Amino acid sequence: MACTPGQVIRCKATAAWEAGKPLVIEEVEVAPPQANEVRASLGPNPGLEYDHYRELYPDAEKIVRSIMSQLYCEQKDVSAALLRVFFQDCFIRACDASLFLDDSNDNTNHSIERWAVLHSTLKGFDKIDLIKAELERACPGVVSGADTLALATRDGILLETMDEIPKPDGNLSRTLHLFSLRGFNERETVKSLRGTQHWKNELSVHSRPPLQLYGDRFDTHYFRSLLRGKGLLFADQQLMADEKTATLVKAYTSGDGTIVRMDFARAMVKMSNLGSPVRISRSGQE
């Protein structure tokens, strides 16, 4: 079903035309949605549905994602702000975007949910209004306010998360910076990247055509591949772009892999302790 703003559509509906009469299935005409209304399509099993707007409004998620990316670049705390709004909206009587209902006409004597003391510190309403306005401009009456909030919150959290995770196509300076923020030096970073070989191998198995593997053992093969310019991911090969990390790569190509395995084990122990609030003494006490 394509975007049909301002158009009458025909569809099947179950109707009861008189009290006490059986329900009948008929084809009816559905007028365009009016103010504060949406026109939705429900399948045989209504409820949550992945990629719900793929037919109703194929560009909906793309529009939300694009605006959220711009907002996140301008204001890094927008993700946290929308998450708070999403929680407050959904925790009481489900996700209905009731926080956005406003019939007060700026009359402070007329109470609305958004003005409750509990919600006085919430931020981000203007961001959702901005996204909803753009969705309405492109295809009126299709995406609900609740879905707009849910999509924006999801994309905001994704942006927040991805901004802190080294990317497969990230440059070396960014990768080293993200690891350094967590106390890792160049040597530990090189070893941590080596440790991702297993998910890279899994990636290559499911690729068409298959990607070149690094091998299924913790040896020096990964580093020898980098010396030959055969790094599987851009972030891997970037280790050869800096003199310090390139020197470490060359050092790890020698021997039978014993040093590789020992250094990797140390790096993983360090990573497992990141953010851990619990410290165990020799006696076993917290």
Task: Spell out the domain ranges in the chain.
Answer: 56-162, 172-272
Structure tokens at 5: 């703003």
- pLDDT exceeds 60 at position 284: no
Given phi > 0 = left and psi -120 to 50 = alpha, else beta, which region is 275?
left
* CA 275 and chain centroid, separation: 22
Q: Which residues of 140-154 are buried (b: 16+ CB within 10 A; e: fewer)?
A: bbbbbbbbbbbbbbb
The band of 211, judged by pLDDT with boundaries at 50, 70 and 90, is very low
Quick one: pLDDT at residue 62? 94
pLDDT band for position 33 (50/70/90)?
A: confident
Q: Which CATH number fits domain 56-162: 2.40.110.10, 1.10.520.10, 1.10.3210.10, 2.40.10.120?
A: 1.10.520.10
The answer to which of 8-12, 219-223, 258-262 has the lowest mean pLDDT is 8-12
pLDDT in tens, 182-195: 899 999 998 888 65
Rounded Cα distance, 55 and 187, in Å: 50
- The confidence score (pLDDT) of residue 47 equals 59
Q: Determine the residue type at 253.
A: T
Cα dist from 210 to 181, 207, 225, 238, whole Å: 35, 5, 16, 22
Q: Which two structure tokens, joined as six digits, stand for 246? A: 């390139």
> What's residue 195's pLDDT?
56
* Predicted local confidence at residue 4, as pLDDT: 63
Q: Give the pLDDT confidence of 61-75 residue by residue, as tens digits.
A: 999 999 999 999 999
Q: Return the bridge partners of 9, or none.
A: 30
pLDDT tens-digit series, residues 47-64: 567 788 887 888 999 999
For the question of whether the overall pTM of this predicted structure is more than 0.85, the answer is no
Task: Please report, rounded to a whole number, the percentage of residues in the chain having pLDDT higher than 90.
Answer: 29
Torsion of CA 111, 113, 119, 125, to 10 degrees: -110
Distance, CA of 217 to CA of 101 (rounded, Å): 59
Q: Where are the alpha helices (DSSP H) in the chain?
A: 53-56, 60-74, 78-91, 125-138, 145-162, 172-180, 186-194, 197-205, 221-227, 234-237, 243-252, 258-272
Closest CA to 61 of 142, 126, 7: 142
89-98, 218-227, 242-251, 271-280: which is most confident: 242-251
- Class level of CATH domain 172-272: mainly alpha
